[in-house]
Chain A
Amino acid sequence: AQSVAQPEDQVNVAEGNPLTVKCTYSVSGNPYLFWYVQYPNRGLQFLLKYITGDNLVKGSYGFEAEFNKSQTSFHLKKPSALVSDSALYFCAGSGAGSYQLTFGKGTKLSVIP
């Protein structure tokens, strides 16, 4: 069975500092990996994905993530956090060719002014 883990329930970072939200995965074969962001009482918004190719993936709003096969990780990063980045972040994964996503439990990011 596949799984996605987000080890941190909450991440606090000062505005302007770099941020990292961690994600590790256990997916058979070549994984498809995604990051989504959720604002209160809203659906999920797509940030970025890794399907194949370059391990460093750049996405929306200045976010990026690095696929690390040896560490089975796909951490989300941003060089300089904004207060407006405060939200709930979900990492998700699926097996190649599968529609079904497995979500991490989510990490609440708080950017402190």
Chain B
Amino acid sequence: GAVVSQHPSRVICKSGTSVKIECRSLDFQATTMFWYRQFPKQSLMLMATSNEGSKATYEQGVEKDKFLINHASLTLSTLTVTSAHPEDSSFYICSAQDSPDTEAFFGQGTRLTVV
């Protein structure tokens, strides 16, 4: 199956700094990618839909100025957590699909810890 690579898998940062997470589709072009946040023992919460060449669409309650999404090419989307705080600590997961009737492929996830 297709591969989606997410990097880094783990990151620890100081409060107030920014962290960038990359999501790459390695063997297909993804016009649309998704960013999720997962709290312990909970389901995935959709944060935003990342569209290549245009602005991301954010879900209600997600601060677009805090979670910056850039989808500069058909194979790369980035999520930048700006001015991170301890409450931003979480597991972030990206996914990509090449069409609506195919399965989504997920990155390995990024464990962010803000200290």
Contacts and interface: CB of A to CB of B under 8 A. Distances in A.
A41 B103 contact: no
Contacts of A46: 1, 103-105
Interface string B68-107: 0000000000000000000000010101010011011111
Interface stretch (A16-24, A62-70, A79-87, A93-101): A93-101
A90 interface: yes
A99 B109 contact: no
Contacts of A96: 100-101
Count chain B CB atoms within 10 A of each CB in A43, A98, A100 and give the residue with the most. A43
B108 interface: yes
A104 to B, nearest CB: 7
Which interface residue of A41, A44, A45 has the most chain B CB atoms within 10 A? A44
Given A32-B101, A100-B49, A43 B6 contact: yes
B54 interface: no
**Which secondary structure dominates chain A's binding surface?**
loop
Interface residue range, chain B: 20 to 34
Given A41-B111, A90-B43, A90-B44, A34 B103 contact: yes
A43 B93 contact: yes
A99 B111 contact: no
Given A43-B106, A45-B106, A106 B100 contact: no
B43 A105 contact: yes
Contacts of B109: 41-43
A51 B105 CA distance: 16
B49 to A, nearest CB: 7
Nearest to A97: B100
Contacts of B103: 34, 46, 49
A103 interface: yes
A44 B46 contact: no
Contacts of A97: 100-101
Interface of B: 1, 4, 6, 32, 34, 42-44, 46, 49, 91, 93, 95, 97, 100-101, 103-109, 111
